[in-house]
Amino acid sequence: MSSTRSSVDPATVEVIRNYLTSAATEMQRTLVRTAYNTIVYEILDFGISLYDAELRLVADSPGLAIFLGSNDEGIEAGVEHVGRENLEPGDVVLCNYPYWSQAHTLDVLVFSPIFVDDELVGFAACRAHWLDLGAKDEGYVLDSSDVYQEGIIFPGTKVYKKGEPDEEILDIIRFNSRIPDKVIGDLNAQIAALRTGATRVGELHERYGTDTVETAIERLFDHGARTAAEAVAALPDGSWTARGYADGIDAGETDVEIVATVTIDGESFAIDLTESADQLETPYNDTGGDALGKLCFKTVTTPEEDSNHGLYEPLSVETRPGSIFEPTEPAPTFVGWTGILAVDVVYEALAKGMPDLVPASSGGDLCSIMLYGNDPETGRAFVEANNEAVGWGATNARDGQNALMHVTETMVQNLPIEVIEQKAPVEIDRLSLRPDSGGPGTNRGGLGIRRDYLVTHPTGGLSIVQKTRTDGWGLDGGEPGAKNVVGLDLDDGWDDRVQILVDNDDLYDAVDDDLKYAGMFRGTFESGEIISNRSGGGGGYGDPFDRDPEAVREDVADGYVSREGAREDYGVAIDDGGEIDREATRSLRDR
């Protein structure tokens, strides 16, 4: 064996690396082509991973990037629960127990062992968002008080045994979902993806031999660890702390504190989240502390490298039992997106030590709207979700990007207008960039968007939108972007139909006085009413009064900045003809 290990040449190692990455990509294509729900095949709300026999990551194919770190933790817990000795060829295991899987109950992890000649050589894993699984409410549960209201829990349950489906488990799933055909369809799509991965990995072992493949993987891990260690060593040493805030889900949880301390010492990189708030009684707890730490680490050290176990060797993430990042059973976790906001807090801590490496804050959330009810044409139940793009922060070199999905989502997309209008009784009355939402700066923050849903038939709706009460942050004198907000334009007497969980009328400078402004809500809506989702902008970089007036003029011409915004935020006067009033601009900037 040792002679074989020493004889594996670099070219073969590279071929095997690319083969594994290609296998993960093929798993993704299988999933997308066979899934039933738009949240999987349009939005790409999933995470796909391949592991060796020791449960070390060898390749992945990101949709929702933060899922990939969650997969690492979830599969370890699932295998431990089932027992490695109890796994057989053809088994498929479900795990959605939040405290093990590092995600809420609807982000269902499905995994299977990979055997070659009766030898366990690895695992294939696929996590995807199911739209309904026995939770007390349709869509998202916004007011659960414990995990048992949030759906059926599978701690590590075989749904296939030796290649044969367990019809009793499938019946439990089928009879506990409002949309059983779609949920079973998505499960089958995940299983198809696992089989694709298992087939490709098996072919790789048959072609090169298990010893050669395992040797190549060890070299990939070694290379990844060296590359990551070198990247960390190139960063400045130090320890930096930042504090950010979430809205929570009711008035008593306003300003939920998120604290992140990043410490870099030589080749080690540590993220400490232990000072963050205690776990909450409402479902804004997040079990994915390790996952958010891996994402932040990867983006600032080896963003161009394909992921593997070795690339995370220098990283440690510390959470505290009983806190929002390590809640204990039966704490609710259904809207556990705290980690999404925490990513910006980690970046803010890094910015204190390396402001030229990270951008200013982003719009800060996924800004999701969900619609549910019964299709007016077929009468069948539906649930549809749509995440929204936000503005990204500016850097010392350039303006922030307009209307991109949050960094935690990576490859995720929002729903095309044609799709959402077909799947739910709404029309998209308006979709545009949101003027003046980018944080002012020498380099301007990216803009968020405005999407107006015009309801065409009575339907249910809810929002999962945070960061509506507190600002993000700019860098080097730059200012934060606009906050996230949802505007509700409804008929009189609608208070009995809509429950506002986060109301920010008093804290948000409303432009339209006839709208009700909210972050989190659930309600029923009538034909002609509008849900207006307005995502936040990125923070600016540098003093806004140092921005080139010509760049400000172009921003006004493009509709990114209003004439009033140019005057107030940048000290640039634009006349009625769209040209710079040089004298007025000098006066404003001198002042």
Sequence-ordered list of residues with C-beta below 8 angstroms from that of 254, at least 6 positions apart, any chain:
247, 248, 469
First-residue to last-residue Cα distance in the chain = 77
Q: What is the CA radius of gyration of the chain?
A: 25
- What is each CA distance from 297 to 124, 126, 504, in whole angstroms? 24, 22, 33
Contact 413, 43 (CB under 8 A): yes
Measured from the Cβ of residue 225, the count of other Cβ atoms closer than 10 Å reads 18
Cβ neighbours of residue 401 closer than 8 Å, sequence gap 6 or more: 391, 392, 446, 538
Q: Are 48 and 125 in contact (CB under 8 A)?
A: yes
Burial of 107 (0-12, 13-18, 19+ CB in 10 A): buried
Q: Which two tokens stand for residue 319?
A: 């959470």
Q: What is the helix (H) or strand (E) element at residue 155, kind and residue range? A: none
pLDDT of residue 111: 98
Phi, psi of 219 (to 5 degrees): -70, -35
Q: 402: which 2 tokens?
A: 């307009």
Query: Is a pLDDT exceeding 70 seen at residue 2?
Result: no
Q: At residue 238, does pLDDT exceed 60?
A: yes
Burial of 303 (0-12, 13-18, 19+ CB in 10 A): exposed
- Indicate the pLDDT class of residue 494, thresholds 50, 70 and 90: confident
Pairing outcome for strands 530-534 and 426-433 = unpaired
Determine the longest span between alpha carbons in the chain, in angstroms.
82
Q: Is the pTM of this model over 0.85?
A: yes
Q: CA nearest 470: which of 241, 248, 244? A: 244
Name the amino acid, one letter, at 584. Answer: A
**DSSP output for 2-14:** HHHHHH--HHHHH
SS3 content of the chain, % helix, strand, coil (to 5): 35, 25, 40
Query: CB-based contacts of 393: which residues, under 8 Å, 6+ apart?
Result: 359, 360, 361, 362, 400, 439, 445, 446, 472, 474, 475, 481, 538, 539, 540, 541
3 state DSSP class of 503? strand
Q: Tell whether the model's pLDDT for residue 551 goes beyond 60.
A: yes
Residue 540, H or E segment: none
E runs forming strands in 142-281: 157-161, 164-165, 238-246, 256-265, 268-272
The beta strand positions in 456-588, using DSSP E, are: 459-464, 485-489, 498-500, 516-518, 521-525, 530-534
The three-state secondary structure class of 554 is helix
Helix axes 338-353, 289-301, angle to 10 degrees: 40
**What is residue 500's predicted lDDT score, i.e. its pLDDT?**
87
Bridge-partner residues for 454, per DSSP? 427, 530
Whether the per-residue pLDDT at 515 is higher than 90: the answer is no
Q: What does DSSP assign to residue 347? A: H
- Percent above pLDDT 70 for the chain: 97
Question: Region 288-314: what's the mean pLDDT?
Answer: 94
pLDDT band at 66; cut points 50, 70, 90: confident
330 preceded by a cis bond (ω within 30 of 0): yes
Task: Specify the residue for token string 């079973």.
Answer: 184
- Region 190-214: mean pLDDT is 97
Q: With contact defined as beta carbons under 8 Å apart, do 99 and 328 qualify?
A: yes
Average pLDDT, integer, range 197-217: 97
Distance, in Å, from the CA atom of 81 to the CA atom of 422, rounded to the nearest integer, reads 42
Q: Would you give the DSSP letter of residue 358?
A: S
The pLDDT value recorded for residue 480 is 97
Whether 74 shows a pLDDT value over 70: the answer reads: yes
Q: Are strands 368-374 and 381-386 parallel, antiparallel or unpaired?
A: antiparallel
Within 42-105, residue ranges assigned H as helices are 66-82, 98-101
CB-based contact 556:566 (threshold 8 Å): yes
Amino acid at 307: S
Helix or strand (DSSP H, E) at 245: strand 238-246
Which pLDDT band holds residue 1 (cuts at 50, 70, 90)? very low
pLDDT tens digits for 345-394?
A: 999 999 999 999 999 999 989 999 999 999 999 999 999 999 999 999 99
Q: What are the φ/ψ torsions at residue 289 (nearest 5 degrees)? A: -60, -45
422 three-class SS: helix
Q: How far apart are CA 231 and CA 167, in angstroms?
A: 50
Cα angle: 29, vertex 414, 478; to 5 degrees: 125
What pLDDT band is residue 512 in, cutting at 50, 70 and 90?
low
Rounded CA-CA distance 324/353 in Å is 26
